[in-house]
Amino acid sequence: MSKFRLGEEQVLERKEQAAYDNLLREQLATLKANGWDDFACSAYNDYLKSSLKEENEAFLIQTEKQLFLVGSPLYEKLFIESRLSDKEKICLVIQQLGGFLNESNDLEMAPSKYCFDPDMAPGASFLNIFSKTVQNAYPDGLKIVDSDKRKSKAVIKKSYPTETMLHQFRHQLDKHNVAYVKRYRVRHQMKTDEAAIKAILKRNWFYADPHYHNRALLGDEITAKEVRTTERSLTNRGLIKKIRKRGFYRKILSGDYHSEFIVDEAGELISQWQTEAKEIADLQIPVANGESFNYGERPRYDQTRSHNLLDGLPPHNFDSVQRLSIKKNWISPKDNWFYQLVRRLAESGCRFKKRI
């Protein structure tokens, strides 16, 4: 009887092993079909061997879910171990998430089995790794050749599809970060978005210059008299009018410089990904003054000027039709002593918005 039971167990083990092997082969085939190379597949295999005490089909099914969560620990491992070129890795991530260029040559995201890992917090390691990959892939920035500079924005974007998608993908990273902050705020019952951001980042955050995030709308918030025509920037009086009506917006960055947030004087996010407004100016504010994920490094520590080359200059050529249209009528302050005084006072707790 014992021999019969032993034989039965062996048959069962062989069946379980066969099921495991078949499922693993299917998963590896799926990985390759989704763009990963042999080295990424080997990394997955190694991960399973190091994680499993015994080959278990149920564990394999559960683990497979992480493969489709961009930024999960397992996805990050595949991204690192893959020997695709840096440009190929970048394009693979955008492609897996459903990214494509529409008729206006702007990035859209189609439904996809891939999504960002909901547990990937702002400041997470994958966001830093992805940014470093962008820097390596484009050491000279997202530039265009001189002969193309006089062409229309539509023609430029059509001629540089990869650069256009990569630039506009920053806003998808913003969308994920903003959603994470909102969920965190609700889960922990925090009073403001700002409190949630600082709790998420712990001590690994700092204020940065929000010069291009305190624009005012010409013809609505300011008149032509409050604009320096030669520089197209706000006069000091124009800045006062803006901050008395809207307040002064502050910029909070993660310690690695990549995740960026803009908050108003009440500590609420200014973001295109969460807005309920009725006035035209209110609808445009999140686009004109909202956050933008940074691929580059913090300028004060970076002699390669990666922030300017990857984040500062590309909007002129690769922004979406909507953003290019809206930003035409939004004027930023002049970066002078008065503006810097207002900035430092705001970061110290001063508030300027007129109480109604």
- pLDDT of the chain, 356 residues: tens digit per residue: 444 454 544 544 666 777 788 888 999 999 999 999 999 999 999 998 887 665 577 788 888 999 999 999 999 999 999 999 999 999 999 999 999 999 999 999 999 999 999 999 999 999 999 999 999 999 999 999 999 999 999 999 999 999 999 999 999 999 999 999 999 999 999 999 999 999 999 999 999 999 999 999 999 889 999 999 888 999 999 999 999 999 999 999 999 999 999 999 999 999 999 755 545 567 799 999 999 999 999 999 998 999 999 999 999 999 999 999 998 899 999 999 999 999 999 999 999 999 87
Distance CA 27, CA 284 (A): 45
What pLDDT is attached to residue 15?
A: 66
Please enumerate in sequence order all residues whose Cβ is within 8 A of that of 136, keeping only pairs 6 or more positions apart, or say none: 86
User: ∠ CA 117-129-157 to the nearest 5 degrees?
Assistant: 85
Q: Letter for the amino acid at 34?
A: N
Q: Count of alpha carbons within 13 Å of 38, Cβ hemisphere only?
A: 0
**Residue matched to tokens 């260029």:** 101
The residue assigned the tokens 């079909």 is: 33
Both tokens assigned to 203: 């001590």
pLDDT on residue 81: 98
DSSP bridge partners of 233: 228
CA neighbor of 30 nearest in space, from 60, 55, 64, 2: 64
pLDDT of residue 4: 45
Which CA distances in Å does 117 have to 73, 75, 77, 124, 348?
9, 9, 14, 11, 35
Give the three-class secondary structure for 263. Answer: strand
CA distances from 295 to 132, 136, 212, 256, 268 (A): 7, 11, 17, 10, 24
DSSP letters, 188-252, are: TT-S-HHHHHHHHHTT-EEEE--GGG--EEBTTTB-GGGEETTTTEE-HHHHHHHHHHT---EEE
Residue 93's Cβ-count burial label (10 Å; 0-12, 13-18, 19+) is buried
The domains of the chain are located at: 1-67, 83-347
DSSP 310: I
